[in-house]
Amino acid sequence: MIRFPAGLLAVALLFTGCAAVQPTTIEPAAPTNYELTAVSPAPAVPAPAATTTTPLADAPSAVLDPNRADVWRTRERLALEDEIARTDLWVRVRTGFATPDLDDEVVRKWEQYYAGKPDYVARMMDRGGRYLFHIVEEVSARGMPMELALLPFIESAFNPQAMSSARAAGMWQFIPSTGRDFDLKQNLFRDDRRDVIASTRAALDYLKMLHGMFGDWHHALAAYNWGQGSVQRALKRNQAAGLPTNYEALRMPAETRNYVPKLQAIKNIVMRPGSFGLTLPPLENHPFFLAVPIERDLDVTLAARLAGLSLDEFQQFNPQMNKPVILAAGTPQVLLPYENANRFLRALGEHRGPLATWTAWVAPRTLKVADAAKLVGTTESQLREINRIPPRMLVNAGSTLLVPRSAQTLHDVALHLADNASMSLAPEAPKLRRVSFKAGKKGDSVAAVAKRYGVPAADVARWNEVGMQARFKAGTAIVVMVPNQKKKTRVAAGGGSSMVHKPTTRAAKSPR
């Protein structure tokens, strides 16, 4: 039996087996105005040994003598199975499967693949156990097939911080444009594609839309991976050619061809783990984490410390943060494991000192980083590092930067900044050198000089205090400002010589 802290027991009882998630107020040890909302699975504990029990045939009670011992045994076993279904999350998942099965060689291939990697499957299942209850609740509330709750296993191995080469992010692997289509904010301070709750909502909204479009879950899943336009074209091709239009008959790229078979393989493993030599971690059918409201801007490191978690553990539940500060206006709650939620509230109520040491600042004009650093009272190196600004870049006017928060700053970051902050950079203008020469015998026009030196005609006119249409008389001194040239090295080759630029190498800077 799981023993909950006194303040959390009511929540655990309230959410056991219910389909809708409701806010629940908990009385913390220290007085605060916060509430805790249960939103997802409880700590893993040993599951009942009957996890894989197969249901008994339910004989009609009208033909059974209620006094017979075998009737009582049947009732007891049925009651036990019902209890298991209410308390074991894996049983709940299995009983919710509703999509047609695939049974072909591609499925066999992926079953063998996962069966051959028991350590990988164990890590994946253990990580997924933190989030699975919440997803199961959401799938159940929408009346959708429970197979969809397993989709993050093949999308990201249930890693909410996963990032693909195509810039798809989070457990559900949203690319930036599709994330925006489903209201997942992506800005300087947070990326909701990595938010456990927001991304789950968006993924199920998307899948429901796709199923409404195709009327078939296999096609909907293919469209989730490949795009609805691609699936529609594949269906039209087969229809035009008089070919079947089922999933297996469509012409698809290899990734999509393997997509539903991978999910089927995971489904088969969840149904019969022993058949593949695998063991599922026990998961109880109640929330694992709580949503704790945040009313003031708060440093991520401080939040983790108050909750008694390492920074890595805190980020496993709150992976959407892009910066070392949580802005209350844009991120009004954090997720914490059950056993850490009350600890966080108590410690927050007792904390003395600043909650946030960082804040947002909007550049009033286009600035060099060194000048911006002077305005906000920090060093150029610190400002570059915290905002990941490469060398030789200017900060454009209107850009939002993360800067140290002074002790005198009373207000938290406003909602419009928390939701829409962006940073725009531009290359610094190259250092120029003055070149002076005389116009030729036939004279030169401003446009001709500009073209010859690859500079704007307006600049040539300005440098020489003439109009854009002016012509320089023969012998007139003309001034042009050109970028400094790299040093050249004379290299002999085959008895001749040529002027070449000395090659330089520079380590690429990470875009992070």
Query: Which residues form the catalytic set?
Result: 155
Provide the token pair at 427.
């290359």
Map tokens 């911080």 to a residue: 161
What's the angle, vertex CA 465, arms to CA 461 and CA 468, rounded to 5? 30
Sorted by sequence, the CB contacts under 8 Å of residue 244 that are 6+ apart come out as 238
What does the alpha-carbon distance between residue 35 and residue 28 come to, in Å, rounded to a whole number? 9
Sorted by sequence, the CB contacts under 8 Å of residue 508 that are 6+ apart come out as none
- Residue 273's SS3 state is helix
Q: Is 314:304 a contact under the CB 8 Å cutoff?
A: yes
| 392 phi-psi bin (left φ>0, alpha ψ -120 to 50, beta other) | left
Residue of 391, 393, 396, 447 lying closest to 422 (CA atoms): 396
**CB-based burial of residue 353 (10 Å sphere; 0-12 exposed, 13-18 middle, 19+ buried)?**
exposed
C-alpha dihedral (195, 198, 204, 208), degrees to nearest 10: -140
**Chain mean position to CA 446:** 53
Q: Is 190:329 a contact under the CB 8 Å cutoff?
A: no
State the greatest distance between any 2 C-alpha atoms of the chain, in Å, as a whole number: 123
Structure letter (DSSP) for residue 161: T
Adjacent-strand bridge partners of 445: 471
What does the alpha-carbon distance between residue 237 and residue 214 come to, in Å, rounded to a whole number? 15
- Residue 17's SS3 state is coil
Q: What is the DSSP string of 334-362?
A: EEEEHHHHHHHHHHHHH--S-S-SEEEEE
Residue at 91: amino acid letter: V
Helical (H) or strand (E) element with 36:
strand 36-40
**Chain mean position to CA 477:** 60
Adjacent-strand bridge partners of 481: 434
Residue at 144: amino acid letter: M
Q: What is the DSSP string of 49-99?
A: GGGGPPPPP---GGGS-TTSHHHHHHHHHHHHHHHHHHHBHHHHHHHT--S
Q: Is 380:401 a contact under the CB 8 Å cutoff?
A: no
